[in-house]
Chain A
């Protein structure tokens, strides 16, 4: 069981790729989340409308369908469009890029809601005070809003990360050799599917436990400046 018949290193490599995919998608999700939040709070109804469409539609479609749509659908769509314009091209997506972009895009919708809640939780007086000190809009955002928002956003972002890291298993469907795909290969070669999927699940469990510890540490750190009654 512990030797995993020589497939242990393959699983660990897969686990490393899973963490890479997870961290890269999370970075995209946070970036899109901040943009989405700004759009949701925008004064323009058109911008708000598109931000609402983004969060409601993306959260209503299964991740797997979106991954398949991006990986198989997007290249054919582009090929059809370019062919119609008279410049036929041949495109195929790299599974890593397709997976990371799709997962990041999906969880960007979830982080948009997290950031919106966090933004609304920062007392308005803070912004007014910053304005009174002569800070401009972007400066107020960077110096005053963002650091305080992060404290409110951390628990929500932690939850997004927990769901996201488990969703990366779906990228195995488009043949990226992350943890799940490596376990699948090992299971087929050794004919011991239970052993290898159990091992993979325990590695995921380990990632979850470590993430939990990091999250608690980060939340405590973000509350350094807060006096408790």
Chain B
């Protein structure tokens, strides 16, 4: 028990690493997923097929394989990567962790937002067209904001999954919560105490994120609250 109390500062640092990696991947993944989902539903086959292949691959394979493919697999292309000056990036576990989590969440979110876009009532799109909107303006003002609201509950689940999946980065030596727990456990032999404490930390963060996303959801749907409340 003393070991846990002694290592609380390290666990707090580690929680910050977990939150940082997750938040960064979620943010970049979101920014990728919105345009990709638009391409997926509205562009021609030449554009939408590669996007489909991307989401299919990243949703159909385990995240651990993706992490290993990027972190260890890049070693096979050392010369080429050195030639373009990117090698030092791929040597960093932190960079590879964020890159693989970002690509993974981008793939899942693209499909979630695709569902959202397809769920936008056609009457709203017709009304926007009747008002003279089309193309980019129609997407920016009507379809995307509505699609995000529709997809938000599923997107919340995806973020929770990613937060938990971020524990895998400890396998490539990133010192997140799981990484620190593993190190303390093997050094002190206090296996169940440290892993239970780590599990508790994840629970706290997971329910914190859930709370935050429910607040955002309420904010997004604030225009409906007059009727529902």
Contact = CB atoms under 8 A, between A and B. Distances in A.
A191 B57 CA distance: 24
Interface of A: 57, 60-66, 68-69, 72-74, 76-77, 166-170, 172-173, 180, 183-184, 187, 191-195, 197-198, 200-201, 204-205, 208-209
B72 A193 contact: yes
Contact of B68 (A63, A68, A193): A193
Given A60-B203, A192-B76, A197 B65 contact: yes
Nearest to A205: B60
28 contacts: A60-B206, A61-B203, A61-B206, A62-B167, A63-B164, A64-B171, A65-B178, A65-B195, A69-B191, A69-B196, A72-B192, A73-B192, A76-B190, A76-B191, A77-B191, A169-B64, A170-B62, A180-B68, A183-B65, A183-B68, A192-B76, A193-B68, A194-B72, A194-B76, A197-B65, A197-B72, A201-B69, A204-B65
B207 interface: yes
B65 A201 contact: yes
A77 B190 CA distance: 9
A77 B62 contact: no
Interface of B: 56-57, 60-66, 68-69, 72-77, 164-168, 170-171, 177-178, 181-182, 185, 189-192, 195-196, 198-199, 202-203, 206-207
Given A68-B181, A194-B73, A204-B62, 13 more contacts: A62-B165, A63-B167, A64-B167, A64-B178, A69-B196, A73-B195, A74-B192, A76-B191, A77-B192, A193-B69, A197-B65, A205-B57, A209-B60
B167 A184 contact: no
A187 B76 CA distance: 10
B65 A169 contact: yes
A194 B65 CA distance: 10
A73 B51 CA distance: 42
B164 A198 contact: no
| Secondary structure class of chain A's binding surface, majority of residues | helix
Contacts of A184: 68
A4 to B, nearest CB: 14
Nearest to A204: B61
B65 A61 contact: no
B69 A198 contact: yes
Contact of A73 (B57, B64, B191, B207): B191
A57 B164 CA distance: 13
Given A61-B202, A62-B165, A68 B72 contact: no
A180 B203 contact: no
Contacts of A76: 189-192
Contact of A195 (B76, B192, B203): B76
Contacts of B190: 76
